[in-house]
């Protein structure tokens, strides 16, 4: 089943990455690599994967700018 974006914010940042690489897939890959969390961290493994993908997509941008772009669409979510 293909999910259609309900808004423009779904097509940028984490919305786009989670659409292309669903959280369940990312979790399975992290587990298959033996890199699941041993304890709670500020950035869970899944978010680190999305952050690294964002760094690749926006390679000339500084780290904080990439993170800002990724979480931009989450402001209205709560």
Is 43 among the domain residues?
A: yes
Is 2 among the domain residues?
A: no
Kindly report the pTM of this predicted structure: 0.74
Is 54 among the domain residues?
A: yes
Sign of the C-alpha dihedral, residues 20, 22, 26, 32?
negative
Distance (Å, whole) CA 16 – CA 53:
11
Is 3 among the domain residues?
A: no
So what's the pLDDT on residue 38?
79
37-52 as b/e: b if 16+ CB within 10 A: eeeeeeeebbbebbbe
Encoded tokens for 60:
């000339």
So what's the pLDDT on residue 8?
43
Q: Give the range of the structural domain holding residue 14, as residue numbers without chain letter.
A: 8-74
78 residues of the chain, pLDDT tens digit each: 444 444 444 456 888 898 999 999 999 999 999 888 778 778 889 989 999 999 998 888 999 999 998 888 666 555
Distance (Å, whole) CA 68 – CA 78:
16
So what's the pLDDT on residue 2?
43
* Domain count across the chain: 1
């Amino acid at each position: 089943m293909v999910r259609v974006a309900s808004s423009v914010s779904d097509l940028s940042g984490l919305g786009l990455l989670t659409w292309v690489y669903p959280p369940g897939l990312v979790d399975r890959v992290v587990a298959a690599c033996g890199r699941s969390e041993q304890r709670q961290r500020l950035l869970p493994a899944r978010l680190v994967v999305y952050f690294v993908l964002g760094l690749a997509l926006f390679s000339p941008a500084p780290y904080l700018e990439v993170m800002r772009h990724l979480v931009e669409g989450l402001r209205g979510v709560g």
